[in-house]
A and B are shown apart, each in its own frame.
Chain A
Amino acid sequence: MGKIALFFIICFSSFSQTHLYGVLKDSQNNPIASASVILKDASEQTVAYIYSNENGTYQISFKKKGTFSLNILALGFEKQAIEIEINENTPKEIINNFILKEKINEIKEIIIQSNLPIIVKKDTVIFDPKAFMTGNEQTVEDMLKKIPGLNIDSNGTIKIGEQEIEKVMVDGDDMFEKGYKILTKNMPVNPINKVELYQNYSNNKHLKGIEKSKKVALNLTLKDNYKRIWFGNTSLGYGVVSENRYETKVNVMNFGKNEKFYFLSNLNNVGANVTGDLNQLIRPFRFDEPGSIGDDQTANKLLNISVELPNLKQKRVNFNNSEMLSLNSIFTLSKKVKLKAIGILNTDEVDFFKNNMQFFTLGTSNFENTENFVGRKSEITGFGKIDVTYDISKDKTLQYTGKFNTTEERNRSNLLFNTDFLNEKLTTNNQLIDQKLVVTNKLKKNKVLLFSGRYINEKTPQNYSTNQFIFDDLFTENANYTKQFSQNKMEFFGFETHLLDRKENQNLLELKIGNQLRIDNLNTSFELQNNNTIISLPIGFQNDLKYTTNNIYLNTKYTFNYKNIALTTQSNFHQLFNSISNVAAKANQNAFFIIPKIDFEWKINKKNKILTSYSNTTTNASILDVYSGFIQTGFRSFNRGIETFNQLNATTTLFNYNYGSWGDKFFANFSLMYSKDNDFFSSNSIIMPNYSQTEKILIQDKALFSISSNIDKYLKPIKSNLKFSFIGSNSNFKNSVNNTALREVKILSAEYGLQLRSGFRGFFNYHVGSTFNYNQIKTSIQNSFTDNMTFLDLSFIFNKKFNIQLQSERYFFGNLEKTNNKYYFLDIETQYVVKENKLTFSLSGNNLFNTTTFKNYSISDVNISKTEYRLLPRFLLLTMEFRF
């Protein structure tokens, strides 16, 4: 009780202070500890208070004068009070001893009603932002940062715990899906009334709590009387000390109670892919989600002449000139009806450059091809989408989605193939109409029935021509020009009834009955011309085919949950009716098969988790497997299908073990996968210098084995995380080349790497890593190579306003000539925030070493190829971003 002693000294040394002290005892003369001694003035305000110590003594010192009451309160004793008058004449020390009378306290049960600024419903947390705001918040993001439990990182990604939120809605309307940052970074805070956090969120409200969901979403409710205002941001970037480079982005939005608008545009020639963010809006991919029937159905594009780009950042390889405008709106037509409309217009012009050398080693014949390619793709896309949601009743909702897309793409190329100079022309159109209707009916609290219907109509006509005839070995005609028209037209009709029933014990039963009909028309016509006159339509190079597959199915799925074990069993019954018809004949096939699947998940304890699955799948052949005439798929390549119906059977077994979780000091993951294709489509190819003809053949037994592992270890002494990763795979199959007997192809690949990233809390951080990639392909001969990529990133955060990020990479190709097998890149980005969320300047320097070409090396079962690409030269971009 050092404090008391100190207290004493202070008390006795002060001047005009009065000291009250004494001893508290009970009737048996035992000292009373922990009794409250309160000195109050005439107006009942506490002047000083103290608790008695274990000896029952108390000490109170004070300076005031007047009439006071000294109150003694001890638990289990009657309260006592005496009056004390302090004036000029009273002594400085007053002793009052008390003997307290014992009493029996009543036990009181009380219930407290409190008004918290957070209301919790089941799985919904509602925040009143006013309770958390301090007044300097400008944007929604500023406000969300203050709300307990939401983590917003420097990019604006919003997380709850470690989980990123699914979307940020405004009054229940979702315009941006995963692109919510556009909203949170720009929308002013004033119109916001409440913030709602939904846990275990479902995209279909009636499935809430029934389907298995770990999604989280936010909703911002708007103040009723809030006037509509326009707000947004713009960012203007222009190339300094380099050739003309620019990037302009504009976002403008307006949210009213009943109408919401959002306009977005992006113009750039710095390689930025502008439609990337919009793809989620155009074709949302919702794997295995109820009501997603037909999501995987598209018409096929048969020919593509634009160059595949190397695996480098877009801003290095994409010679683009893109313009994109997007208009989005949501209208609440009535309490029950909501309309959402999206329109996108995009134009793009991309240049391609490639020098390619291919070395073919085919046993009997060995040869070399060179291709010098310069091409340009011009594209214009118009996309529109309408969503209507109609709440028929509390438990019934109708959703309609209508989409249309039209794309016109023109490609031209100048190609120097060995000694021949070719001009290629390709136009591709895409026309898509897609309509979907989903009715959700919640039968009971844990039971939902969905009816989905969908109709898709899509076609992609293509016209391709080359102004040189290089197929002298293939055709005897004296042609000097070739032309191909091709079109895949697809119609899809699907309807499905899906029942989800979550049992009392949380087990989940799913039943799906449906019918999916797909009708494909494939028309291709390959022409040989001489001086604009068609001289031949070679036999075996034409297709006019209708392929119909009708699939009636019943899927059953049951998930058992027992303690830490979840077991999902699935059986899908399919009855297929296939038919192929062409001018000459019509053939039908009926097939019945069952697809079983078992998933087993065991959380052994908090650290250890095992996941295994087994499935035996049967896949019906698609239009691209069944056509009979050759189709030109490149300037020197032709492909064809197998002409007959097929259902391919494969089994897959997966095992995964997990120790710890992301962000732990030690985390490890290990996976094994083995899949065996009992039948599969292999190829029979004729490969000649000037052409290749590949046809599908059906053979047995293809095996793939893969193994992967990740290990993360946090190294405390250097405050850095060490990551090790390994992926290896081995596959085995057979094919045939140039009419030889089937030969075995063995492919072995391995990728392994190490990374070290610091977590310093100072201004500096680093991230360094290196990845090796080994590939081996063995036929009668064996080819292999090892590549390496090493990177070093440095980050300097001087303060909230100013930071520098530096990224550097080194690429090494083991099998290229020493003179050009190493490539170095350096990018620097600096950012200066003039006013947070208002005005920011950034300067980025790209490709500072000015590496203008990039060569890579690859192998296949027939050739080795070396390809050189052109890269965007060094440029500096100064960008100003401001919010209005």
Chain B
Amino acid sequence: MKKYALLLLAIQFAFSQNNLEITYSIKYNTAFYNERIGTLQIDLKNEKALFKISENIKQVELKEKSDDETNKFNLVKKNELDRYIFTDYKLDTLVFNENINRKEYTIKEEIPNFDWKLEETFTKKIGDFNCKKATLNFRGRNFIAWYSEEYPVKMGPWKFSGLPGLIIEVYDESLRYYWGVTSIKKVNEINISSLENIKNESIGIKEYIDIIYNKEQEPIISDLPRGVKVENNKIPRTRLEVKFEWEK
């Protein structure tokens, strides 16, 4: 929470009507299946959204059970950090943080263009919501979203935005990543700050890609013992974002 507080110098907005807090259940079917809670805070008036991602729930559960460090899901190097994605529509800016090999990075980009294809003939009832289907090809993955016009909100979980209603459920076609609403609350106060404080220490999206897909692999390849052959050193991209708009 430390970084987070430092970063968003808590400017408080107090509007009675225009603030929403939506909770998502996030499921990552990655190296180790893990579940998280996403909280999307929306300041409609100022066109800002903050999506916070909790710690791995499974890990939290285990932590509560025992103090035994060794008995946890610790096969994958993991450094928990409060992750967030902050979108400021007025400034056309999206900022998120990520921990890459134990170093925290703040990455800044323009709000990406989401070219949603509305497929309104497909509908699905989720809870009390009548949802409509939309599909999207975004950064190398095909996503399927179910949105509700009852909540006319363009902001969505993770980086998503731009549907005619709130995203109730969205997942990629291989179901590797999944977000689904569990609750919607109106709130009076939301702490969303401006971006000014973090501009200086942030890196651009292209540099970020170079770090995650190129630079971080080099130390690992170069740390192998003698006789270990590396026959194909292009490591497959398996992250949420695989292919970027400017890449061929």
Contact = CB atoms under 8 A, between A and B. Distances in A.
Interface stretch (B6-14, B172-180, B191-199): B172-180
Interface string A810-832: 00000000000000000000010
B219 A721 contact: yes
B154 A34 contact: yes
Given A49-B164, A125-B32, A34 B18 contact: yes
Contacts of A664: 101-102, 219
Given A116-B27, A663-B223, A760 B218 contact: yes
B68 A561 contact: yes
A663 B220 contact: yes
Contact of A662 (B18, B214, B223): B223
Given A46-B120, A148-B176, A108 B47 contact: no
B219 A110 contact: no
Contacts of B66: 505-506, 561
B90 A107 contact: no
Contact of B184 (A108, A755, A759): A108
A506 B79 contact: no
A714 B222 contact: yes
Contact of B218 (A112, A603, A759, A767): A759
A112 B67 contact: no
Interface in A752-779: 755, 757-761, 765, 767, 769
A712 B224 CA distance: 11
Interface stretch (B135-143, B200-208, B231-239): B231-239
Nearest to A72: B152
B127 A110 contact: yes
Contacts of A111: 127, 182
A107 B153 contact: no
A34 B47 contact: yes
Contacts of A2: 92
Interface stretch (A73-81, A233-241, A288-296, A480-488): A73-81
B29 interface: yes
Task: Name, among A74, A112, A114, A562, the residue most crowded by chain B CB atoms within 10 Å (CB to CB).
Answer: A112
Contact of A665 (B45, B219, B221): B219
A840 to B, nearest CB: 11
Contact of A149 (B30, B149, B175, B182): B30
B217 interface: yes
A120 B31 CA distance: 13
A105 B44 CA distance: 15
A197 to B, nearest CB: 9
Contact of B70 (A54, A112, A212, A712): A212
A145 B230 CA distance: 16
A160 B226 contact: no
Contacts of B3: none
A155 interface: yes
A714 B103 CA distance: 15
Interface string A15-49: 00000000000000000011110100000111001
A566 to B, nearest CB: 7
Interface in A765-796: 765, 767, 769, 791, 793, 795
A108 B219 contact: no
Contacts of A800: 232
Nearest to B118: A46
B233 A797 contact: yes
Nearest to A118: B29
A656 interface: no
Contact of A566 (B70, B73, B128, B164): B70
A667 B223 CA distance: 10
Interface string A706-747: 000000101000011101000000000000000000000000
Interface residues of A, number: 90
A199 interface: yes
B54 interface: no
A224 interface: no
Contact of B79 (A3, A606, A769, A791): A606
A85 interface: no
Contacts of B46: 54
A154 interface: yes
Contacts of A73: 149-150, 152, 165
Interface string A123-154: 00100000110000000000001001110011
A721 B222 contact: yes
Contacts of B102: 606, 664
A162 B101 CA distance: 13
Contact of A759 (B20, B67, B222): B222
Interface string B101-123: 11000000000000000101100
A36 B161 CA distance: 13
A797 B71 contact: no
A797 B231 contact: yes
A110 B184 CA distance: 8
B248 interface: no
A91 interface: no
A508 to B, nearest CB: 9
Given A54-B90, A148-B238, A155-B229, A116 B29 contact: yes
A116 B185 contact: no
Given A36-B165, A46-B164, A757 B222 contact: yes
Contacts of B33: 118, 120, 125
A7 B166 CA distance: 24
A150 B221 CA distance: 17
Interface in A78-110: 102, 105, 107-110
A540 to B, nearest CB: 50
B151 interface: yes
B176 A74 contact: no
B38 to A, nearest CB: 13
Contact of B183 (A110, A216, A662): A110
B234 A761 contact: yes
B75 A107 contact: no
Contacts of B30: 148-149
Contacts of A563: 67, 69
A162 B74 CA distance: 11
Contacts of B1: none
Contact of A75 (B153, B171, B219): B153
A800 B245 CA distance: 26
B223 A161 contact: no
A38 B232 contact: no
Contacts of B176: 148
A624 B217 CA distance: 52
Contacts of A132: 174
A564 B69 contact: yes
Interface in A144-175: 145, 148-150, 153-155, 160-163
A805 interface: yes
Contacts of A793: 226-227
A803 interface: yes
A585 interface: no
Nearest to B181: A110
A149 B224 contact: no
A160 B78 CA distance: 13
B133 to A, nearest CB: 12
Given A131-B174, A663-B219, A216 B231 contact: no
Nearest to A134: B174
Given A34-B18, A148-B30, A163-B75, A75 B223 contact: no
27 contacts: A1-B90, A34-B154, A36-B153, A45-B121, A46-B118, A73-B149, A74-B152, A75-B20, A111-B127, A112-B182, A114-B27, A120-B33, A148-B29, A149-B32, A154-B232, A161-B77, A162-B77, A212-B70, A561-B69, A664-B101, A714-B219, A759-B217, A759-B219, A759-B221, A761-B217, A797-B230, A805-B229
Given A216-B75, A757-B222, A757-B223, 19 more contacts: A36-B152, A38-B164, A46-B164, A75-B152, A110-B184, A114-B169, A125-B33, A148-B30, A154-B229, A155-B229, A160-B31, A564-B69, A566-B70, A664-B101, A714-B223, A719-B218, A769-B226, A797-B232, A805-B229
Q: Which 6 A-B pairs have the closest CB atoms?
A: A110-B127, A149-B31, A36-B152, A759-B222, A154-B231, A759-B218
